[in-house]
């Protein structure tokens, strides 16, 4: 873990020298099966070790003033590659509560300012929507992990989303679900769609304001703007 922490500080120094203030790390997913899609991006260790890893990395990043993003909530597990298609996770809620949530909780407690939500369909939480577009999954993140920071979608250009949703529909559903920021390159479609949804009352301006406050608070925590 000393080497892990030293590595995090080294990366922070490099990124800050390039005027980059947020790193989409650490990966908090659990996998000890090399056949899992996510395995190569994880520690390959158990929940306790991965939680210690997340705490060390997020803690180092917090002390360096580097924004951290815990991913991919609520835990990727044995899910397939959502860059290519939908992936359903049929594990019981108890598995997430006793295992997958532990690294995310450790990262939140270490000061992580953001959490990124996956496109996996978590059947125990919401069998009808990918996690990134699910209000129920976002409620779990806010309530079970007591997280009040910025929630990000995974990339909405991944085929788990594009095969089932248009860019405009996905963006509006992502905001409605509780995401504060959307990760995508189709912003010329998505921004007008969200603005129009607010104009029509499909999305509330109060919700947009709440997300803006969270983003601004994160920027203040990182010293990017004055309080």
**Catalytic residue list:** 83, 154
- pLDDT score at 59: 98
- Parse the chain into domains and list their residue ranges: 2-221
Residue 84 — very low, low, confident or very high, per pLDDT cuts 50/70/90? confident
pLDDT reading at 179 higher than 80 = yes
pLDDT reading at 78 higher than 80 = yes
- pLDDT score at 192: 96
| Segment 121-157, tens digit of pLDDT | 999 999 999 999 999 999 999 999 999 999 999 999 9
Architecture of the structural domain at 2-221: Alpha-Beta Barrel (3.20)
Residue 226 — very low, low, confident or very high, per pLDDT cuts 50/70/90? confident
- pLDDT score at 98: 97
pLDDT reading at 198 higher than 80 = yes
User: What percent of the chain shows pLDDT beyond 70?
Assistant: 100
**Nearest alpha-carbon partner for 179 in 203, 144, 160, 159:** 203
- pLDDT score at 169: 95
pLDDT reading at 227 higher than 80 = no
Calculate mean pLDDT across residues 153-178. Answer: 94
């Amino acid at each position: 873990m000393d080497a892990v922490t030293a590595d995090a500080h080294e990366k922070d120094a490099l990124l800050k020298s390039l005027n980059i203030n947020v790193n989409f790390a650490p990966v908090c997913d659990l996998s000890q099966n090399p056949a899992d899609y996510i395995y190569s991006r994880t520690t390959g260790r158990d929940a306790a070790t991965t939680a210690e890893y997340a705490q060390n990395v997020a803690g180092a990043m917090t002390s360096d003033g580097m924004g951290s993003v815990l991913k991919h909530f609520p835990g990727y597990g044995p899910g397939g590659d959502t860059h290519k298609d939908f992936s359903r996770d049929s594990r019981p809620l108890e598995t997430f509560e006793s295992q997958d949530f532990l690294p995310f909780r450790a990262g939140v407690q270490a000061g992580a300012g953001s959490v990124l939500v996956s496109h996996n369909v978590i059947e125990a939480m919401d069998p009808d929507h990918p996690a990134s577009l699910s209000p129920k999954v976002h409620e779990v993140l806010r309530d079970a992990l007591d997280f009040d920071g910025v929630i990000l979608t995974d990339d909405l250009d991944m085929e788990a989303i594009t095969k089932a949703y248009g860019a405009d529909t996905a963006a509006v559903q992502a905001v409605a679900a509780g995401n504060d920021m959307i990760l995508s390159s189709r912003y010329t479609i998505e921004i007008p769609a969200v603005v129009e949804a607010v104009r029509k009352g499909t999305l509330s301006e109060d919700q947009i304001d709440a997300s803006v406050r969270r983003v601004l608070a994160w920027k203040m925590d990182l010293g990017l703007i004055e309080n």
